[in-house]
């Protein structure tokens, strides 16, 4: 590190658990880029954004709880991020000495890229479990890719509101948890926290018979109960770590304007998560 080292980071509260520093710092090192990626514990997002400008931070990831509240503080927002209503990536662009902060959302790209490693989304019917921020980004991303979404959530008002924005069908979670079958879909995605550090799944192996792909945004454990059920049913499975990887890959490429070292970033993430699980 020296006076020319570019600084990147992640804004969040809390942020100590983030795997992004491991992934991005390894990518910088692998590519010989004079840069560092740091966790920034940001309580006051307004002051944090002022700090980005004042310290000439080159770019940041944005995580809970600031993905929505940061938007009015930025100079430009990507149209898809505007549509989603959340920003998870900020790029600082220096134009004649004036810093312009541009916000975008790579969560949906991360989900799509992870899915498209194993399935073409165009024309596919997808059951999306959840109606929170992750489901929102993934839902818009699926539609960008030409998929048809069926949204399923526990809370009816929130679920129906998101389904209205997406222009898709909403069904109550009880239809899944108290029923024997799923709607006729090719892909099932869990965008809830069910399964995180627990042996639980909203969907059984028997319900997944005939489904092509199962994806879980949860990555601790690496193989959740949902993914185990999917394997038992003969489905292709995608771990949440792949979504985390590909949203980070997109961030790297946004900031550096060059291809990311995907496999090295993948190895770093898997190693870190596996170490956590042994603790």
User: Residue 272 corresponds to which tokens in the numbers above?
Assistant: 């870190």
Taking the C-alpha atoms of residue 112 and residue 101, their distance in angstroms, rounded to an integer, is 25
200: three-class secondary structure by DSSP: coil
CATH 3.40.50.720 positions along the chain are: 108-238
CATH 3.40.50.10860 positions along the chain are: 6-105+242-278
Q: What is the CATH code for 6-105+242-278?
A: 3.40.50.10860
Taking the C-alpha atoms of residue 26 and residue 78, their distance in angstroms, rounded to an integer, is 27
Q: What is the pTM of this model?
A: 0.89
Taking the C-alpha atoms of residue 231 and residue 237, their distance in angstroms, rounded to an integer, is 7
Span 54-77, pLDDT tens digits:
998 999 999 989 999 999 999 999
DSSP for residue 40: E
Span 86-125, pLDDT tens digits:
899 999 998 888 899 999 999 999 999 999 999 999 999 9
| Domain boundaries 108-238, CATH class | alpha beta
**Which one, of 258, 255, 260, lies nearest residue 93 by Cα?**
255
Taking the C-alpha atoms of residue 98 and residue 137, their distance in angstroms, rounded to an integer, is 31
**Which one, of 143, 74, 76, lies nearest residue 108 by Cα?**
143
| Active-site pick, 6, 19, 67, 267 | 67
Beta strand ranges found along 133-255 (DSSP E): 148-153, 169-172, 187-190, 213-216, 236-238
Span 217-266, pLDDT tens digits:
998 889 999 999 999 999 999 999 999 999 999 999 999 999 999 999 99
Task: Tell me whether residue 200 is one of the annotated catalytic residues.
Answer: no
């Amino acid at each position: 590190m020296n006076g020319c080292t570019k600084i990147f980071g992640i804004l969040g509260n809390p942020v100590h658990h983030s795997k992004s520093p491991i992934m991005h710092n390894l990518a910088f090192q692998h590519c010989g880029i004079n840069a560092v990626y740091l966790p920034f514990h940001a309580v006051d997002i307004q002051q944090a954004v002022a700090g980005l400008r004042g310290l000439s931070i080159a770019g940041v990831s944005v995580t809970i709880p600031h993905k929505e509240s940061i938007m009015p503080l930025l100079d430009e927002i990507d149209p898809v991020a505007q549509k989603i209503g959340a920003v998870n990536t900020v790029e600082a662009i220096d134009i004649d000495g004036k810093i312009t902060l541009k916000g975008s959302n790579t969560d949906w790209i991360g989900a799509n890229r992870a899915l498209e490693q194993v399935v073409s989304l165009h024309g596919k019917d997808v059951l999306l479990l959840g109606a929170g921020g992750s489901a929102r980004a993934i839902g818009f991303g699926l539609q960008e890719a030409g998929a048809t979404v069926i949204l399923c959530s526990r809370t009816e008002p929130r679920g129906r509101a998101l389904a209205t924005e997406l222009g898709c069908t909403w069904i109550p979670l009880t239809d899944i948890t108290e029923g024997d079958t799923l709607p006729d879909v090719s892909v099932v995605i869990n965008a809830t926290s069910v399964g995180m550090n627990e042996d639980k799944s909203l969907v059984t192996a028997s319900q997944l018979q005939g489904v092509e792909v199962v994806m879980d945004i949860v990555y601790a454990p690496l193989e959740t109960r949902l993914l185990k059920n999917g394997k038992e049913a003969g489905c292709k499975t995608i771990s949440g770590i792949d979504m985390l990887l590909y949203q980070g890959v997109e961030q790297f490429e946004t900031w550096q304007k060059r291809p990311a070292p995907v496999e090295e970033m993948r190895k770093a993430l898997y190693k870190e998560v596996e170490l956590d699980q042994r603790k």
